[in-house]
């Protein structure tokens, strides 16, 4: 179905991933609608990061298709998929440690620059105008994620939670229409997690479609429109946070006893 007639931003259809005799994903089908926040959860080894790697082109599926905005993307390289607006973060924080926070954002923004190398070398007026526009955008992004006061700090000098925010800020500089966040609050303390949830709420207001992999169930239940549960390479449940929280199979496989209190 074409993008003009489908609400889906992303469709994953009967994807399987085999590594020799090991089945990482057996048969996975799910979608993410425009403007939706979907979380992909499951025990360690369930296939969540493998799914992210397939969607973003870092890994090719053994079978099945990934369609983004009506275009099949499996077979494309990661940078080609990113250029389509499908942008991801990684489990391990990746910022430019020796660059300032502001320059981290500029680096991300320059990927969207329109000027050729010779125009930059000649420092033509239109290049200077574009540079001014990019710097203004960088400040907007820093203010949006709450890092404007750390603009002149080195990326590597930030507290861990702030580095995670910076990583998201760099991803936002790429102007994603779908943002994939791989365990974004891993290692954060409760205060940092709460601040990150506030940021996700602001991103939702900007109609940024998001797909999360996350283990923090309070965050998952608090921010998700829909949750997809993986276990042993299979999707065992899909639905609203309330339905997932009370699903006996999910409780047995992942949430465990006391799941009724998650998100309260």
Condensed to tens digits (0 to 9), the pLDDT of residues 165-218 reads 999 999 998 888 999 999 888 888 888 888 889 999 899 888 889 999 988 888
Count of structural domains, the chain: 2
Percent of the chain predicted with pLDDT > 70: 86
What is the residue range of 140's domain?
102-157
Residue 40 counted as domain residue: yes
Residue 37 sits in the same domain as residue 133: no
Q: Please tell me the pTM assigned to this model.
A: 0.82
Burial class (CB in 10 A: 0-12, 13-18, 19+), 196: buried
198 shares its domain with 151 = no
84 and 183, same domain (yes or no): yes
Residue 118 predicted with pLDDT over 90? no
Asked if the model's pLDDT at residue 120 lies above 50, the reply is no
pLDDT at 25 over 70: yes
Is residue 32 over pLDDT 70? yes
């Amino acid at each position: 179905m074409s993008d003009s007639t489908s609400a889906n931003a992303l469709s994953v259809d009967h994807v399987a991933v085999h590594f020799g005799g090991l089945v990482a994903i057996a048969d996975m089908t799910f979608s993410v609608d425009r403007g939706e926040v979907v979380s992909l959860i499951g025990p360690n080894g369930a296939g969540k990061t493998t799914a992210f790697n397939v969607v973003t082109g870092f890994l090719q599926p053994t079978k099945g298709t990934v369609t983004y905005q009506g275009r099949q993307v499996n077979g494309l390289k990661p940078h080609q998929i990113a250029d389509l607006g499908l942008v991801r973060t990684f489990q391990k924080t990746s910022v430019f440690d020796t660059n300032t926070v502001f320059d981290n954002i500029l680096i991300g923004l320059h990927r969207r620059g329109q000027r050729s190398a010779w125009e930059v070398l000649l420092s033509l007026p239109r290049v200077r105008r574009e540079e001014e526009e990019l710097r203004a955008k960088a400040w907007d992004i820093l203010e949006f994620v709450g890092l404007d006061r750390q603009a002149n700090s080195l990326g590597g000098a930030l507290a861990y939670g702030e580095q995670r925010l910076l990583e998201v800020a760099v991803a936002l500089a790429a102007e994603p229409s779908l943002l994939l966040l791989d365990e974004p609050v891993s290692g954060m303390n409760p205060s940092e997690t709460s601040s990150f949830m506030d940021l996700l709420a602001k991103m939702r207001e900007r109609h940024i479609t998001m797909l999360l992999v996350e283990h923090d169930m309070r965050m998952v239940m608090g921010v998700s429109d829909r949750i997809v549960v993986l276990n042993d390479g299979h999707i065992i449940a899909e639905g609203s946070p309330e339905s997932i929280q009370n699903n006996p199979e999910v409780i047995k496989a992942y949430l465990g006893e006391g799941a009724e209190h998650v998100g309260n």
